Amino acid sequence: MLRSGPVRSLARFTIPSSTYPGSCKASTLALPASKLSFPRIESIKRPRSLALTAYRPLPTSLQRWASTTSGPPFVEPDKKELKHEKTVAKEELEPHPEEVSSASSVHQIFHEKGTPDEEKDEDMLAGVYADLRVIKETFALNEVPREAFFIGLAGLLPYAATSLSTVYLAWDINHAALSGQGFLLSGESAELLLHIIEPLQMGYGAVILSFLGAIHWGLEWAKYGGVHGYRRYAYGVVAPAVAWPTLLLPVEYALIAQFSAFTFLYFADARAVVKGWAPPWYATYRFVLTFIVGASIVITLIGRGQIVDKINRLPGPGDRLKQLRESQVAALEQEEQERRARVVAQDEAEEEEEEDDD
């Protein structure tokens, strides 16, 4: 029994190399079990019948590896997976001739299925188009009541008319200075009309600024956003206090001061909207109107800048006050001279009477 094939294979796998030389003898196999070195022999189950066990080196090696290592045990493939693999193996591949080309056997970096497409060229004007859409939506003023919208636009007509008239008259004055004759008007007539338009534009700007301040008084009386007292009334007081003194300045300085006042009031109204003191649409409404008014003032200043050395400056209110003061001083001096002349004449008459009496 000890010389049977299974026993020799078991001894060959269990006896160390130091005790198992190249030729194995029967006396060596006959050693007691206590002198044999079996590694972890307790984890190996002895077969019930060694004589009936066939020589299978691979399963024996797997059993030794599973019993002597700490790795996961060997897991046989699932029957469902094997069945699925057989099913997939029987399926036929669908032909796609459109994907076959002369270069299909060469791996392409781009233009291949499964790879991302090339980056499309970005539209360089996309940002410009977006800004134009924002401007269009801003100037549409869809949330503004129609009455306020139309009346506000109508209130811009005097500003636009005076600005365009200033530009045309400036061009006509330059044309007259170069050719000796104006296009439609003479140089003197164009200058006279320009001096009439200047106070109209300045006075209308002062009126509009006062009106913008008065709106806050109406919102306070209507208790829109609550009652805020002097803080809201201050808006209506500051606006005319800044607007009307500009009429005493020369035309250029007056227009620049009114432009600054319009800008300041716009920011004040936008702040009022943020605080809830005015309707939400009022900030956009004020922005559009202020933009048009500011553009009109800038156009007027540009037109006047072209003829600043070709026209006589129209005397403003300050100049008129100076002339009035000077005329009053001259009148007082003349009156004093006349009084002194009367006194001298009276003294001379008295002296003549005294000489006659003598």
pLDDT tens for each residue of 61-82: 656 655 555 555 555 666 667 7
pLDDT at 292: 92
| 249 vs 145: CA distance, rounded Å | 37
pLDDT at 81: 77
Question: Is residue 16 pLDDT above 90, yes or no?
Answer: no
* pTM summary value: 0.53
| 244 vs 202: CA distance, rounded Å | 9
Confidence of residue 324 (pLDDT cuts 50, 70, 90): confident
Rg of the chain's alpha carbons, rounded to an integer? 55
pLDDT at 25: 44
| 117 vs 1: CA distance, rounded Å | 75
Question: Is residue 358 pLDDT above 50, yes or no?
Answer: yes
pLDDT, the chain, mean = 75
Read off the pLDDT of each residue in 86-102 and give the average, rounded to a whole number. Answer: 76
Read off the pLDDT of each residue in 145-154 and give the average, rounded to a whole number. Answer: 90
Query: Which residues, at least 6 apart from 269, have a Cβ–Cβ distance to it below 8 Å?
Result: 212, 278, 282, 283, 286
| 238 vs 236: CA distance, rounded Å | 6
pLDDT at 266: 93
Beta-carbon-side half-sphere exposure of residue 37 (alpha carbons within 13 Å): 6
Read off the pLDDT of each residue in 337-344 and give the average, rounded to a whole number. Answer: 87
Q: What is the DSSP letter of 315?
A: P
Question: Which of 93-102, 172-181, 186-195, 240-249: highest mean pLDDT?
Answer: 240-249
Among the residue ranges 31-40, 185-194, 266-275, the one predicted with the least confidence is 31-40
Is 90 exposed, middle or buried, given 0-12, 13-18 or 19+ CB atoms closer than 10 A?
Answer: exposed
Read off the pLDDT of each residue in 299-319 and give the average, rounded to a whole number. Answer: 74
Confidence of residue 138 (pLDDT cuts 50, 70, 90): confident
The encoded tokens of residue 229 equal 């007292």
Q: Which residue has the higher pLDDT, 266 or 184?
A: 266
Question: Is residue 7 pLDDT above 60, yes or no?
Answer: no
Residue type, 358: D
Read off the pLDDT of each residue in 85-99 and give the average, rounded to a whole number. Answer: 79
- State in Å, rounded, how far the first CA of the chain is from the last one: 198
Confidence of residue 250 (pLDDT cuts 50, 70, 90): confident
Question: Is residue 163 pLDDT above 70, yes or no?
Answer: yes
Read off the pLDDT of each residue in 162-168 and give the average, rounded to a whole number. Answer: 90
pLDDT at 273: 92
Whose tokens are 């160390």? That residue is 16
Q: Kindly report the CA angle at 223 between 219 and 224, in degrees rounded to 5?
A: 60
Q: Please write the tens of the pLDDT for every residue from 37-56.
A: 444 444 445 544 444 445 55
SS3 252: helix
The encoded tokens of residue 286 equal 């004020």
SS3 48: coil
DSSP secondary structure of 285-341: HHHHHHHHHHHHHHHHHHHHHTSTTTSPPPP-HHHHHHHHHHHHHHHHHHHHHHHHH
| 63 vs 45: CA distance, rounded Å | 10
Q: Which residue has the higher pLDDT, 214 or 102?
A: 214
pLDDT at 21: 43
Query: Which residues, at least 6 apart from 235, have a Cβ–Cβ distance to it below 8 Å?
Result: 213, 216, 217, 268, 272
Residue type, 202: M
